[in-house]
Amino acid sequence: MKNFPIPTNEKQRLQAVYDYNLQEHDKDEELEVFANAASLICNAPIALVSIFDENYQVIKANCGIEVDIVPRQQTICQFSLMEEEILVIDDVTKFEPAKNIAGVKAANIQFYAGVPLIDDNGNVLGTLCVNDHYPRTLDEKQRNLLIQLGKNITKLLVSKKRKKDAAYFQNIYKISNNLIGVADINGVLKSINPAFKEVLGIKDKKTIITENFLDFVSEKDKKKVNTYLSNLKNNTDSINFKCLMYSPESQEEKLVEWYTRSNLKIDNEIFFFGRDITLENSKKVELENSERKFRNFFNSSLGLMTIHDLDGNILSINKKGLESMGYSENEAKDLNLKKIIPKSNQKEYQTYIETILSKKQDSGLMSLIKKDGSLTYWLYSNILDKDNEGNPVVMSTAVDMTQRTLLERDLNRVRQLLDHTYEVANVGGWKYDLVKQKLIWADITKKIHEVEPDYEPNVETALNFYEAKSSYPKIKKAFKDAVEKGIGYDMELQIVTQKGKNNLGKM
């Protein structure tokens, strides 16, 4: 909490100090004459011109005392900030608010007079003050002159800012990529910046000056622009519009967005500020076309396409996806992935979000619950993207795998049943890939041959399990005929297992 008086517009006041570029803690030689004049007018040994920032009184010019900066709460001028014209304290020792200010006592300040430096917006930028070492007062003439000095200081500070602003604007006028021009009330151009002729492709500046603004407007838009200029002529303060500009020299048209303002009360002029939006508009049209194509593709896709945020809220879903899940467009507004994922898979959702955040993409098989409660299976491929506000969203495409998944599960159950049947019947199976020349044994076949579960046979090792004298020659020839000629075989042969056990089997 500040322990010094604060003006009601303190925030605005501090911004003004910054805008006038007065925040630096340095001296200003141009203000010294005012400090000296105040000292002479008031016949006072000490005079100060100060600026007040948030916490300090910054001395910009001084007379009779060497000081650069003082904390606000250690000054008498803090009270002048609250005045509208002048504060005169004939006897500081009797001024209650200043009795406990150590700096005032140390400097033996017993008389004070200060005027606030107030700009046109009512912001107190600082003070002009005079001090003396004994109690006294000012006569009316001295008061008025001190007040007038304060006003002149403020005018100087304002004019310095205006000069800087003018220099800034002149630079902006020259280097701006935007079109800037001034015309008389009838639209005849009086001044234009380099960008004006560059955008219109005009090489000679003289071909623009004294020409009418309308001469460079495309015939397509000339009528409406003429109406706008007439409105400005009839006391309309400002009008914004877009129009096609045409250069007779370059014979090109450019789309320009114009901001116009009239200055009828002073100079009977119209100011033009234009922005070439030809390329921007072209890109906008391209973007709109691209978005339309994406939307058409999105909605016409046969699979499930969604866009969802990281909380699972489904921001967009295609028409086919809605039909597949059994929801209407209104119901889709409240859809969330967490609500349509089976309870048994809820933990996997967080893993999915972590994966998509770290790898920027994810794919796999997911299960979703339709509106009617039935379970569906989807093969998805998702990528992480950002929306127009830069928020992360997930773009998802998915293919309905429900029928295939259920069919595969049925086949697996049948396969398990057959494997169990073969195991009970002690019937083994094998397959030989002619292209890869790879032999594969079923698990029961490995059990019959009493080999390890991870055993990988080849043709030669498999044939070596047959009894050498009679069975081996028969199976070798039969296998060769099957491979080369496609001749099948059905015979009883003797095999010797890995553990040396003799078994009779039908091949």
Alpha-carbon dihedral angle through residues 59, 64, 66, 68, given to the nearest 10 degrees: 0
Cβ atoms 222, 214 nearer than 8 A: yes
E-assigned strands of 248-310? 252-263, 269-276, 304-309
Angle between helices 140-175 and 32-42 (to 10 degrees): 170
Do both 467 and 492 map to the same domain?
yes
Q: How many domains does the chain have?
A: 4
Provide CB contacts within 8 A for 36, sequence distance 6+.
47, 63
pLDDT in tens, 86-127: 999 999 999 988 888 888 888 899 999 999 999 999 999 999
Is 5 a member of any domain?
Answer: no
Do both 243 and 311 map to the same domain?
no
Mark 95-118 as b/e (b = at least 16 C-beta within 10 Å): beebeebeebeeeebbbbbbbbbb
Binned at pLDDT 50, 70 and 90, residue 57 comes out as very high
Domain that holds residue 205: 176-281
Q: Residue 369: pLDDT above 50? A: yes
Do both 266 and 331 map to the same domain?
no
Is 20 a member of any domain?
Answer: yes
pLDDT in tens, 166-205: 677 677 767 777 888 888 888 888 888 888 888 877 766 5
Other beta carbons within 10 angstroms of residue 170's beta carbon come to 10
Provide CB contacts within 8 A for 3, sequence distance 6+.
73
Do both 159 and 191 map to the same domain?
no
Last residue of a domain, one of 104, 138, 167: 167
Do both 75 and 211 map to the same domain?
no
Report d(CA 175, CA 286) in Å as an integer: 30
Mark 335-355 as b/e (b = at least 16 C-beta within 10 Å): bebeebbeeeeeeeeeebbeb
Q: Looking at residue 146, what is its pLDDT?
A: 95
Do both 392 and 495 map to the same domain?
no
Q: Looking at residue 382, what is its pLDDT?
A: 86
Q: Residue 401: pLDDT above 80? A: no
Do both 265 and 350 map to the same domain?
no
Would you say the C-alpha torsion 36, 39, 40, 42 has a positive or negative sign?
A: positive
Least confident among 223-232, 244-253, 306-315, 334-343:
244-253
Binned at pLDDT 50, 70 and 90, residue 37 comes out as very high
* 402 three-state secondary structure: helix
Do both 201 and 251 map to the same domain?
yes
* 49 three-state secondary structure: strand
Last residue of a domain, one of 143, 167, 191: 167
pLDDT in tens, 451-491: 787 888 887 886 777 776 677 787 777 777 777 777 877 78
Q: Residue 1: pLDDT above 50? A: no
Do both 56 and 101 map to the same domain?
yes
Last residue of a domain, one of 112, 136, 167: 167
pTM, two decimals, is 0.45
Do both 449 and 400 map to the same domain?
no
Q: Looking at residue 197, what is its pLDDT?
A: 80
Is 418 a member of any domain?
Answer: no
List the CATH number of the domain containing 30.
Answer: 3.30.450.40
Q: Residue 246: pLDDT above 50? A: yes
Task: Calculate what percentage of the chain has a pLDDT beyond 70.
Answer: 86
List the CATH number of the domain containing 230.
Answer: 3.30.450.20
Do both 15 and 154 map to the same domain?
yes
Is 338 a member of any domain?
Answer: yes
